[in-house]
A and B are shown apart, each in its own frame.
Chain A
Amino acid sequence: MDLITVQSARVARTRGDLALAPGEVVIGGGTWLYSEPQQATGVVDLLGMPWAPVTRIDEFLSIAATCTIASLRELPDSPLFRQCADSLLASWKVQGVATVGGNIALSLPAGPMTSLAVALDATLVLWTATSERSVPAVDFVTGVQRNLLGPGEVIRSIEIPLASLERTGFRRISLSPLGRTGTLVIARPGVVTVSGGTERPHQVHFDTAEELIRGIDALDDWYDDAHGAPDWRRAMSLRFALELLEELR
């Protein structure tokens, strides 16, 4: 929809362009920002930044924040890329415009790119016009649409250790076959990531099934909205975690 409060739209092409004026917000694809009424008075478009979508560096896969979800979906390295891309509530047409970084920065509980980054022990590289830092993806989202981004800070890239891709398992359920995520569970040996059904993503590290059950039982921020009741989300998460435990055994 037209954003009626927006008075300026500019395309960022250099790192200096990331410095924001009061009221400006950054967009990746912009597919969420333009989908709801906003308060912003200016839009800064990151798609002008000369960032290669995917770079392979040593033991890491570096995904630019501006890589589209559709491009990520095509990466051959892991079925998780397709599974998480298709977990987006929005259509494949939106996947072609929406970006990996944008989905993480939005920090909605059902953001599948957050699920992916957390499950794979990714590191997020955060930039401002003048500074850079890295944070573990698992710490980045702190609540519903809350995260560690400071003023003027953007996600530059998502660094995924290739080792994380070796053995993974994926489960997702929603209230309809292709609906918004009720819960999304990704497992790797010794660690299960629960997201989508909780206000923020959680990793549960375990050695035994009992520890896994205890870890999921201990989660207390199950989300309550039109996409599933908290008790169901909790039960489905536990069910999937145990299924994946078997699957990866």
Chain B
Amino acid sequence: MRLEINGEPVEVESRPGQVLRTLLRDLEHFEVKKGCDAGDCGACSVLLDGSPVHSCIYPAHRLDGASVTTVSGLGTAEAPHPLQEAFVAAGGFQCGFCTAGMIVTASTFTEADHDDLPRLLKGNLCRCTGYRSIHDAIRGVSNTETAPSGDAAGRSVAAPAAVRVVTGREPYTLDLATTALAHIAVLGSPHPHARITAIDTSVAAALPGVHAVLDYRDSPATLFSTGRHELRTDDPDDTLVFDRVMRFVNQRVATVVADSVAIAELALAAITVEYELLPAVFDPSLARQPGAPLLHGDKGPESRIAAPERNTVAEFHGETGDVDAAISEAAAVVTGTWQTQRVNHAALETHATRGWLDADGRLVLRTSSQVPYLVRDELCHIFGLSQEKVRVFTARVGGGFGGKQELVTEDVVALAVLRTGRAVQYEFTREDEFTRASPRHPMRVGVTLAAASDGTLTAMAVDTLADTGAYGNHGIGVMYHSIHESISVYRCANKRVDAQSVYTNNLPSGAFRGYGLGQVIYAIESAMDDLARELGIDAFELRRRNVIVPGDTMVVTNPDEESDLGIESYGLDQCIDLAEKALDPSLAGPEGWPVGTGMAIAMIATLPPRGHYASATVTLLSEGEYEIAVGTAEFGNGTTTVHAQLVATALGTTVDHIRIRQSDTDAAAYDTGAFGSAGVVVAGKALLAAAQDLRAQVEARGTVPGLTGSGSNDGTPRSVSFNVHAFRVAVNPGTGEVRILQSIQAADAGTVLNPEQLRGQVEGGTAQAIGTALYEEVRMDGEGRVLTTAFRNYHVPQFADIPATEVYFADTHDPLGPLGAKSMSEAPYNPVAPALANAIRDAMGVRSYELPMSRDRLWRLARQSPMVTSR
């Protein structure tokens, strides 16, 4: 058939059953993205004869004579479409993976449509921004500026990749052509707990187009963890590339490597497997009881599981002072138990890896990862390779949120490449994201607080139980982090903490923005709200009386704990004041909807503990150009923008003179990775040092091309950032609907290096947290099966769902961070759910103890409210 793509005539045959999206990508139109492959997210939107369609659900057999326009057909870097210019000017993206579809769709809007954006953008999901900057782009609001030489820091310069992103020319993980590429399909376990007693892959292996079938018999015997940290011993060694024991539904049984995804998928049916079914457990409170089926009872101390005989991957028990005595003497005591749900990261780019052997026989992986160096190091460990034999790099990554601090595609690609010698690709489907990737840990958190009549906190007792699922990836770190800054932000003489993270035969949980803090902050800040109510003290005031201040030691339960964490700068007081002052108590909802206000605070360390390292270089090229080489990845966090600003400022140039090589084990000596919000405060600091080093060399030797400055940072000591969120809401008790009348966040990020980007991070974190608080839930059937396997059943917030958030910054300067900056990536997410829960409690007169606070749950809750009597 003949069609026209971006004005070029094309003659092409489609496959039966093929869709427009894959036809376009087969023709190397990589600007057309796959977000969901189901017509839900809009990342693949193109114009078909002038009308926008989701190309992933449009049958290719209809295309004869059609005219197709992609985002790259709308405009180019040289001649951009006005809307492309507007998205650059507004800063209308973060990771940019949704941007192509967003611009294509918005290119059809008229002026009158601007009043109808909630409906018109319903089919275009953005996980990063919270939509305000997209709204600005569509309305033509400009938020970015051009910085003069040497004066980039502190200004809202646009992302270096902006023009490429909006024209579809920025390559993401799979946006390149590779000849003779083989593809992977994976057979998943149908059982939550079973042992393979027999497996026959011979029929599948003999099918035409199949290159290899791999299963537990092919797996390296080295146990590892998919969760990645600087110290590999921080995570339990409980996972194999292929295991003979299945511990959750859809765990890898076998993989087919074949000429196409279709051949590989179809060959899976030819694999026969016999299982011995094992008893399974799905409730973490049962899993830790004697007699429960054991997930990893076969593992010894070398796996670093706290108590495999109790399915307990990690636990902590500690007390300072005498909590029980303090409670018995208190003027006010509140107690409650809160439950959080599984939340999916929903990064629009799914996990994916393409691997091959280079001319020197070196294993090369291009992957969607936040931690390319840690992936390299662990693959070396698993496969017994030296670091020189493996290169891992990322292109621009389409969203992370912690989900890509996880080695879930690279290991099987490495095995397939090493086994077949071929280039091999493994691309997660959206369903894989829901059933194979690791969601946020569900937690049950019990909190008891006691206080004197003046509001002084006298006791905090916190009891947490996390469901880490079938494997312990991040289970240990999340548990320890969850009970740290959430508790140590309060001065209190008597504290007791009991925390456990427990294996079950559920989907493995993993790292998620906030890394456990959000779950416990949700409970503690809800309890603080109850305490304020009990004492008759204003919620803001109760925080003021009890939060740590400069000079205080941060205490969980050991006042003498040695730590590299300190209050190096302090803006919590300002944040509390800013949020309180911004609240408008006159805002009202529809008649008959009670209104309420609520607030919550959050503290977070500026980077992870136990070592976070970065080394970076800045090289002087000819004619005033510089090249920076840094290991950390860009996935929408905006660190690359800040890196360019820091270097341009130090070298007295402008950001357009900075070329960037990044996130490649060949580019920089080392970087622990882009997690724990470390991109600015560790890698950025290393880069700033490198730029200063280069500047000193230039001052000494003149502008000699080839001069290279080096810098490194070891991520210690560490400081703390603060966030305070406040809401005013109206609730319809008859239906459970929540209307957010006002959303305010005040953030203490130290020196603000890029106000527009920082605002975007706060808004995006707020939007993701509103999703967690009101809408999102990975539902399971109680027997290990995930029920919500597509965006149509898992509600990622849409344009219509997210109110504007007023963002305020504290005026602080942190002596540890680059130019006084602190990190602000995970932090904005953490105070949002409890602030919203407290506002809803205030409106309804009755408290919700579980997330999400969905309409059906709030409606049911309203039946218990003394304020609601009518049907």
Does chain A have a CB within 8 A of B124? yes
Binds B, one of A114-122, A141-149, A202-210, A221-229: A221-229
Question: Contact partner of B795 among A3, A31, A43, A176, CB < 8 A?
Answer: A176
Question: B795, A86: Cβ atoms under 8 Å?
Answer: no
Most buried by B among A173, A182, A231, A233: A173
* Beta-carbon contact of B795 and A175 below 8 Å: yes
Q: Which B residues between 758 and 810 are near A, CB-CB below 8 angstroms?
A: 774-775, 777, 779, 787-788, 790, 792-795, 797-798, 800-801
Q: Is B16 a contact of A6 with CB atoms below 8 Å? A: yes
A31 to B57, CA, bound (A): 5
Min CB distance A127 to B, Å, is 22
Inter-subunit contact B855/A175 (CB<8 Å): yes
Chain B minimum-CB-distance residue to A34: B57
Decide: A91 and B61 in contact? CB cutoff 8 A: no
Could you tell me if A5 and B792 are in contact, using CB atoms closer than 8 angstroms? no
In chain A, what residue has the closest Cβ to B120?
A92
When the two chains form their complex, are residues A1 and B59 in contact, meaning their CB atoms are under 8 A apart? no
| A151-181 interface code vs B (CB 8 A; 1 in, 0 out) | 0000000000000000000000101111110
Task: Please indicate which of the listed interface residues A45, A180, A235 has the most CB atoms of chain B within 10 Å of its own CB.
Answer: A235
Q: Which residues of B contact A42 (CB under 8 A)?
A: 16
**A1 touching B38, Cβ below 8 Å:** yes
Asked whether, in the complex, the Cβ of B787 is within 8 Å of the Cβ of A93, the reply is no
Please report which residues of chain B, range 33-59, place their CB below 8 angstroms from some CB of chain A when the two chains form the complex: 37-40, 42, 45, 51-54, 56-59
Q: In the bound complex, what is the Cα–Cα distance between A34 and B124 (angstroms)?
A: 18
Q: Quick check: B39 and A178 within 8 Å, CB to CB?
A: no
Docked complex Cα distance between A142 and B20 (Å): 34
- Give the interface centre of B38, B57, B798 by most chain A CB atoms within 10 Å: B57
Q: Say whether A9 faces chain B, with CB atoms less than 8 Å apart.
A: yes
Contacts of A43 in B (CB 8 A): 16-17, 59, 61
In the complex with contacts A226-B788, A231-B860, A30-B54 CB distance below 8 A: no
Q: Does A20 contact B (CB under 8 A)?
A: no
Q: Contacts A86-B119, A176-B795, A232-B736 hold; do A1 and B37 have CB atoms under 8 A apart?
A: yes
Bound Cα distance from A3 to B57, whole angstroms: 10
Contacts of B203 in A (CB 8 A): none
Q: Which one of B158-166, B259-267, B680-688 is at the interface?
A: B259-267
Asked whether A1 and B19 contact (CB < 8 A) given A89-B792, A93-B105, A232-B859, the answer is yes
Docked-complex contact A36 and B38, CB < 8 angstroms? yes
Which of B16, B52, B58, B261 is the one whose CB lies under 8 Å from A8? B16
Which residues 67-89 in A have Cβ within 8 Å of B in the complex?
86, 89
Q: How far is the CB of A212 from chain B (nearest CB, A)?
A: 13
A238 on interface, CB distance cutoff 8 Å: yes
Interface pair A35/B57, CB less than 8 Å apart: yes
Complex Cα distance A7/B266, Å? 13
Tell me whether A97 is interfacial, beta carbon within 8 Å. Answer: yes
Within 8 A of B (CB), among A208-249: 225-229, 231-233, 235-236, 238-239
B788 and A92 within 8 A (CB): no
A89 to chain B: closest residue by CB: B792
- In contact, A94 and B54 (Cβ under 8 angstroms): yes
Instruction: Kindly supply a per-residue 1/0 record for chain B positions 252-276, scoring 1 wherever the CB is within 8 Å of any chain A CB and 0 otherwise.
Output: 0000000001100110000000000
Residue in contact with B119 in the complex, picked from A3, A5, A178, A225, CB distance below 8 Å: A178
Rounded to whole Å, the gap between the CB of B736 and the closest CB of chain A is 7
- With an 8 Å Cβ cutoff, the count of chain A residues facing the other chain is 50
Q: Which of A9, A86, A97, A180 contacts B16 (CB 8 A)?
A: A9
Residue of B38, B39, B56, B122 near A92 (CB, 8 A) is B122
Interface-centre pick from A3, A31, A34, A92 (highest chain B CB count, 10 A): A34
What separation, in Å, do the CA atoms of A82 and B871 have in the docked complex?
29
B17 x A91 contact (CB < 8 A): no
- Check if B403 is an interface residue, CB within 8 A of chain A: no
On whether the beta carbons of B265 and A94 are closer than 8 Å, the reply is: no
| B192 close to chain A: CB less than 8 A | no
Q: Is the pair B871, A175 in contact by a Cβ cutoff of 8 Å?
A: no
A27 lies within 8 A of chain B by Cβ: yes
A96 within 8 A of B: yes
Query: A49 at interface (Cβ–Cβ under 8 A)?
Result: no
Residue B289 at the chain A interface, CB threshold 8 Å = no
A229 & B856 in contact (Cβ 8 Å cutoff):
yes
- Determine if B801 and A176 form an interchain contact, defined as CB atoms under 8 angstroms apart: yes
A106 adjacent to chain B (CB < 8 Å): no
Q: Say whether A47 faces chain B, with CB atoms less than 8 Å apart.
A: yes
A59 within 8 Å of B (CB atoms)? no
Q: How far is the CA of A27 from the CA of B39 in the complex (A)?
A: 16
A-side contacts of B52, CB under 8 Å = 93, 96
Is B798 within 8 A of A176, CB to CB?
yes
**Contact across chains for A2 and B794 when beta carbons are under 8 A apart:** no
Residue of B nearest to A95 (CB): B123
If A91-B122, A91-B124, A229-B857 are given as contacts, then 16 extra A-B residue pairs at C-beta distance below 8 Å, sorted by A number, are: A1-B429, A30-B58, A35-B56, A43-B16, A96-B51, A175-B775, A175-B795, A175-B855, A176-B774, A179-B775, A182-B855, A182-B856, A226-B779, A226-B795, A236-B735, A239-B735
22 contacts between A and B (CB under 8 A): A1-B37, A2-B17, A3-B17, A4-B17, A6-B16, A6-B17, A30-B57, A30-B58, A35-B39, A35-B40, A91-B54, A92-B119, A92-B120, A177-B798, A178-B119, A179-B795, A226-B793, A227-B793, A228-B855, A232-B736, A232-B860, A239-B871
Interface residues, chain A, with chain B CB atoms under 8 Å away: 1-9, 11, 27, 30-32, 34-36, 42-43, 45, 47, 86, 89-94, 96-97, 173, 175-180, 182, 225-229, 231-233, 235-236, 238-239
